Amino acid sequence: MPTIQHSTSSKSNSSSSKFDEQRWVTQISRTLQEELEDDADIAVSVFNVPKILMASDPESYTPQEVAIGPYHYWRTELYEMERYKLSSAKRAQKNLQCGRKFQDLVQHLINQEHKIRACYHKYLDFSGETLAWMMAIDASFLLEFLQVYAIKEGFNKGFSSSSRMSHLVDFTGRKSAHNAILRDIIMLENQIPLFLLRKILEFQFESCDEMLLAMLVGFSKEVSPFKMMEQEAIIKVSECAHLLDFLYDIITPQQIENQDEVIEISDHDDENQDQQKQSFFVTLYLPAVSLDVNAETIMRNLVAYEASNASGPLIFTRYTELMNGIIDTEEDVKFLTLLAAVLMLMFMALQAFCSVYTCARVLNIDTTTTTRN
């Protein structure tokens, strides 16, 4: 396995480096020559955070500890994590089945280059081989980090521990490095396709689908600000693009239940209408919310992802608007806490909803006119 060396001159996407025209021509030519029958099934899922949101709070959208994927790979302040990534890749190599080598995995990803690039909104100025090595190593690190959550879900087959990773990952989630990485890997610009994680698990274990699902469900329970419902299994991993997309699908409802139950009011009697309207009551149920040190970053990136990708109603954005209207004072928070609508874990996280709501309004999102395609 080659050692990755970073230098100022190697920053492919830095402002000081020249655009590689020959590489661009080569990639475009090869892409046009390749026949891809399922082109329509590959949707862009990793986006740049809108500049106006990034300017409002850069740290909520910019990785501070680890770069996962190509968007932040060449930032020098994140190079320290490369040794941990390589260590994870070496352990992944030891687990490969049927005498396979890590190079075999990389070659498979090289063959999937067009599919990988199609997931990213931004042009990736990397060669196919560089991109494949980057994805294989980053995915190995991410899987080793996520195995903690699979173990919490009762799935611990084939996992090995690492002394080098021990101070970054722990079962309690109390270590500062653990929380920092949690925030980084949920960021919109720090995502890699889930099919890459599955492929690496497939090279190592027979039960790759069950293992990946356990990782994702356990991870979602850890980071979700909302109490998880016992319906996680309805989410199909194969239909999710990446970690943030899986979390979004877990949080937002997939369909409106009891949608056929409609109350009809006669159009002939205005007085009767008024009487029926006055006697019509609706109970609004709000999910229990846990606001911790990671909540604001998670909710900000959920709003950014929804604004970039959602084809239907902006459900999560509407929720932040609703909560912003409910929580105006400390007395509101105390009252809702007594009703078990909000679980207070940290006082400073009270500003999370207002902050995320501000992000949504900065985007000038009109949630009342958005319709499902």
Lowest average pLDDT, out of 94-98, 231-235, 300-304, 358-362, goes to: 231-235
Q: What is the mean pLDDT of residues 213-223?
A: 92
Give the count of beta carbons closer than 10 Å to the beta carbon of residue 230: 5
| CA distance to 39, 49, 233, 311, 346, per residue, from 237 (Å) | 20, 24, 9, 19, 32
Residue with the bigger pLDDT between 313 and 269: it is 313
Return the pLDDT at 275: 55
pLDDT tens for 160-217 read 655 556 556 655 555 678 889 999 999 999 999 999 999 999 998 888 899 999 999 9
As a dihedral over the C-alpha atoms of residue 100, residue 106, residue 110, residue 116, rounded to 10 degrees, the angle is 120
Q: Are 361 and 306 in contact (CB under 8 A)?
A: no
In the predicted structure, residue 350 carries a pLDDT above the cut 80: no
Return the pLDDT at 67: 97
Query: Domain-by-domain residue ranges, the chain?
Result: 41-254+289-326, 330-365
DSSP characters over 165-179: TTTT--SS--SHHHH
pLDDT tens for 29-75 read 777 766 555 555 688 999 999 998 999 999 999 999 999 999 999 99
Q: Are 193 and 199 in contact (CB under 8 A)?
A: no
Q: Which residues contact 188 (CB under 8 A, 6 or more apart)?
A: 46, 47, 49, 61, 244, 301, 304, 305, 308
Lowest average pLDDT, out of 8-22, 63-77, 351-365, goes to: 8-22
